[in-house]
């Protein structure tokens, strides 16, 4: 009987870094949650289209920058 590959690999957790995509999507989820709470508690009217466009542009920029930084760290 053979052992599956994911059990035999040497997983040294000290060598792993946080993925940029995980951080970016986590920040997006936090930003959306904060905006929803603020719009309910403070009674501000947000233009949904502009907010979504801003989040989309910010997400794209953050993912590209995170990818570039990750690529630079590998070299």
| Digit-coded pLDDT (tens) for 21-74 | 888 889 889 988 888 888 889 888 888 889 889 989 998 998 899 888 888 888
Q: Taking the mean position of all CA atoms in its chain, how far away is CA 60?
A: 10
Alpha-carbon distance 37 to 48, whole Å? 14
Q: pTM, whole model, 2 decimals?
A: 0.62
Classified as helix, coil or strand, 75 is coil
pLDDT value of position 43: 80
Q: pLDDT value at position 57?
A: 92
Q: Where are the beta strands (DSSP E) in 1-75?
A: none
* Higher-confidence position of 16 and 48: 48
């Amino acid at each position: 009987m053979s052992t599956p590959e994911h059990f035999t690999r040497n997983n040294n957790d000290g060598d792993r870094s946080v993925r940029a995509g995980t951080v970016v999507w986590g920040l997006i989820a936090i930003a959306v949650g904060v905006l929803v709470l603020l719009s309910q508690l403070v009674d501000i009217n947000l233009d949904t289209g502009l907010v979504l466009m801003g989040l989309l542009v910010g997400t794209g920029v953050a993912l590209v920058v995170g990818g570039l930084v990750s690529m630079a760290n590998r070299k």
